[in-house]
Structure 1
């Protein structure tokens, strides 16, 4: 799964990387080295002016992490919807409508996973060691996501929320955690973001794990375990002995 990640790019950088419509993409963003569920984070979505429009306009906006289905009675269900398994996303009631026409890119510098080793010092449970996983070339990750609209009737306002798709971890990362985010190559952005109806198999074929060797993984401080901690020190490698 993906339960924490880092997203520190400015709106102008993300607009350049993902070629978004500038008129709709200058949102207020703050660097977050400990993005956690229920927080607001940048996502890229696609829109068409009408069904016959030849191009998809990409927009950058902020959304709440943890998808809230349109039929939900309250937003707390989103706390359990931070990830969607790519293997079943087209079938699950909470995700299938969003998968059909509300697909997104979720930018990230990197993400965290926790490795559970053997118990030490007589403890019954192992101490989980966080790892930071990030592109070796310093590029921005485009995690595959879905977004949804939910009406908060008490506040009389709409909430935009999202989830991140996951897949089986590649071999050199699978020893840390069995799941990892699903990524999209640049040449698949337009098709993935297009809200027009597409065959399920066509969409699933766009989803690919990271190319072997693209990502680096290294242990970081357990300070990331506390969501109140937030700063570049969280992604600093632990000193070697």
Structure 2
């Protein structure tokens, strides 16, 4: 799973890396401990152009009765995403890139949990495969997102039994292309190479200070 991540890159660096066109209404605030229900930055594609967007983390499907479902849908299993009612329409046409500086995972050891911070070894942003949706509540429209997960690679298997789907730059166009077929997309939903990542044990104090825990 992926239940916490950070994004602290400068906006200019994100724009250069993801090659998106800026929007005046896009607001970006770096966050070292982003958790479900908070606003997450993402990149979407409209008519062949990439734009930044801000989504509430925790996908709320259009048929939801209330927004509480988002606390259960901040991740989507890649093995079933094409069939699950909450995700299948978004998988067909509302895919996005979700950038991160790092993500956090907790390794169980008896009754204790040791947090790890996972980053790319080359220092580039991590790019999660994401989906987004729009949900209407009276006159309000809430746009939300989810991060796809898959089986762990060798590095992550020692920490947790799931990991986020991490996309490489050469697959961004394919993931964002609304015309891409399901079979080709499924081939992208696999664990990245262990050599791509580093995992460092960190203190849990940073999460206690913000009231966050796992």
8 Å contact 2:151–2:190 — kept in the other structure? no
Aligned to 2:172: 189
Shift of 1:227: 7.2
Q: TM-score if structure 1 supplies the norm length?
A: 0.84
Shift of 1:111: 0.4
Provide the secondary structure at the position in 2 that maps to 1:202: helix
Aligned to 2:7: 7
User: Pick from 68, 93, 104: which aligns with 1:112?
Assistant: 104
Change (3 A) 1:111 1:25: farther
Gaps of 5+ in 1: 49-55, 119-125, 231-241
Q: TM-score if structure 2 supplies the norm length?
A: 0.94
Change (3 A) 1:26 1:208: farther
Shift of 1:88: 0.6
User: Pick from 187, 201, 211: which aligns with 1:219?
Assistant: 201
8 Å contact 1:104–1:146 — kept in the other structure? yes
Aligned to 1:139: 124
8 Å contact 2:74–2:147 — kept in the other structure? yes
Shift of 1:218: 1.1
8 Å contact 2:62–2:133 — kept in the other structure? yes
Shift of 1:31: 1.5
Give the alignment's Cα RMSD to 1 decimal.
1.6
Counterparts of 2:117 and 2:154 in 1: how far apart (Å)?
16
Counterparts of 1:229 and 1:113 in 2: how far apart (Å)?
16
In the TM superposition, 1:112-131 aligns within 5 A as: 112-118=104-110, 126-131=111-116
Larger Rg: 1 or 2?
1
